[in-house]
Amino acid sequence: MFRRGQTATALLFLAPFLITILVFFFYAFARAIYYSFTDYNLFNTPQLIGLKPYLDVLGDSLFRRALANTLVFSIVVTTLQTVGALLMSVALNNKIRGQSFFRSAWYMPSITSSVVMTLIFLWLFQRRGVVNYLITQWLTYQPVILTFLGVMIAAQIVQVLYERSRRLPAKWFDPALAAMSALIALAVTLGLNFLGLVGAREVTPYDFQYFSDSWISLGGVRLLSMPLLVVVIMNTFTTIPGLMLFFLAGLQNIPGSLYEAADIDGATPYQKLMNVTVPMLRPVTFYVVTVSLIGTMQMFDQVAVIGSAAPQETLITLAYYVYTNTFKSGAAPVNMAAAAAIILALIILLMVFIQRRFFVSPEAQ
């Protein structure tokens, strides 16, 4: 139609967007690259000093720890999130009454801010906090709970064998029989408890210090610190619901005929999940993994809020490293912060690129 007029209009429409992006993104980006080759410390005039900031950063043991923490965190959380969100969306995709209620309830953690969540988790994971209390309770009632589970499994086995002897095709996880088994186990456990044969036992309160310098190591290499593990749990908890929605939207696009065909072939729920759902969700999975990688690599809020409550080494991430180096009291090594930021950006771009190159299925492109 009016092609020339359109170019002018388009640029006019795009102007606010492009101007802010140019100033606050591209100019900033270029300046960060420039700073990363200078001796800048926020107050002096930058002088080019070549690759020294990068070498300084790579030689900084705190940076290496931050890099390791970030990579471990990103990989662990992305895996947990993707698998968790997928399973949850499959569970929620059942056509049952009250689906929207459950969807809202499950979505709750992702609308609260990371700061609020971190503060609540700090409280839950205190030395004398709710989590340690629950662990103490579990230890106290372990005999009762294990009795219940043991009786339930035994009852289930007996019932399934009995049904099979009646030539009914009972499966090991048959829900109706499991309900019966649970009732039997409850009755037996209550009875044993009443007779005083099984009961709560005395345990000393469990008071593990989560925000301390303790690590999960493998062959002498410190992999994951306890404080970071708490953040892993929290981050998985808060982001699963959001990602779940993507899978849910994807699930709604899978034609039901595929499942019907699988049913006719006698596929188990597990086989249906692995052979129909997962392959059909590959484009969504790609998107979810990308979003999750970008998000987790930049994890900052939780670390900043926990701050001095945990030893710095255990929690520091690249994003936090950049922040602390920019605002270090005295002459801040801003050039090192810039170099670390560039390295962080390169890692993210590389991850997304690799992901796109090797893991994406043809139909997603």
Residue list 130-159, contact with other proteins (CB under 8 A): 130, 133, 136
Q: Is 178 in the site for other proteins (CB under 8 A)?
A: yes
In whole angstroms, how close is the CB of 261 to other proteins at the nearest point? 21
Residue 25 near residue 334 (C-beta atoms within 8 A): no
Q: Is 186 in the site for other proteins (CB under 8 A)?
A: no
The Cα–Cα gap between 293 and 290 comes to 5
In whole angstroms, how close is the CB of 143 to other proteins at the nearest point? 20
Q: Which of residues 34-63 bind other proteins (CB under 8 A)?
A: 35, 42
Q: Which of residues 78-117 bind other proteins (CB under 8 A)?
A: 88, 91-92, 94, 96, 98, 100, 102-109, 111-117
Q: Please, which residue, 198 or 318, has the CB nearer to other proteins?
A: 318
HSE at residue 23, side-chain half, CA atoms within 13 A, is 5
279's CB contacts (< 8 A; 6+ apart) are none
Radius of gyration of the chain (CA): 27
Q: Please, which residue, 6 or 142, has the CB nearer to other proteins?
A: 6
The Cα–Cα gap between 60 and 173 comes to 54
The Cα–Cα gap between 132 and 203 comes to 13
Helix extents (H) in the chain: 3-21, 28-35, 52-59, 61-92, 99-111, 114-124, 130-140, 142-165, 175-195, 226-252, 256-264, 269-272, 278-280, 282-297, 301-306, 312-315, 318-326, 334-354
Q: What angle do CA 307, 217, 132 make, to 5 degrees?
A: 55
Structure tokens given for 145: 């709970």
282: left (phi over 0), alpha (psi -120 to 50) or beta: alpha
In whole angstroms, how close is the CB of 221 to other proteins at the nearest point? 26
Q: Please, which residue, 9 or 217, has the CB nearer to other proteins?
A: 9
Q: Which of residues 194-213 bind other proteins (CB under 8 A)?
A: 205
In whole angstroms, how close is the CB of 69 to other proteins at the nearest point? 15
Q: What angle do CA 186, 191, 195 make, to 5 degrees?
A: 150
Count of residues that interact with other proteins, criterion CB under 8 A:
106
What does the H/E/C string look like for 17-57? HHHHHHHHHHHHHHHHHHHCCECCCCCCCCCECCCHHHHHH
Residue 192 burial by CB count (10 A; 0-12/13-18/19+): exposed, middle or buried? middle
Choices 151-159, 160-168, 214-222, 270-278 (CB under 8 A): range interacting with other proteins: 160-168
In whole angstroms, how close is the CB of 109 to other proteins at the nearest point? 6
**Residue in 39, 56, 60, 174 binding other proteins, rule: CB under 8 A:** 174
Q: Please, which residue, 8 or 261, has the CB nearer to other proteins?
A: 8
In whole angstroms, how close is the CB of 241 to other proteins at the nearest point? 7
One symbol per residue from 246 to 285: x for binding other proteins (CB under 8 A), - otherwise; what is it?
x-xxx--x-----------------------------xx-
**Residue in 39, 68, 93, 129 binding other proteins, rule: CB under 8 A:** 129
Q: Which of residues 336-355 bind other proteins (CB under 8 A)?
A: 337-338, 341-342, 344-345, 348-349, 352
Q: Is 11 in the site for other proteins (CB under 8 A)?
A: yes
Choices 52-60, 129-137, 145-153, 154-162 (CB under 8 A): range interacting with other proteins: 129-137
Q: Which of residues 289-308 bind other proteins (CB under 8 A)?
A: 294, 297-298, 300-301, 304-305, 307-308
Q: Please, which residue, 19 or 197, has the CB nearer to other proteins?
A: 19
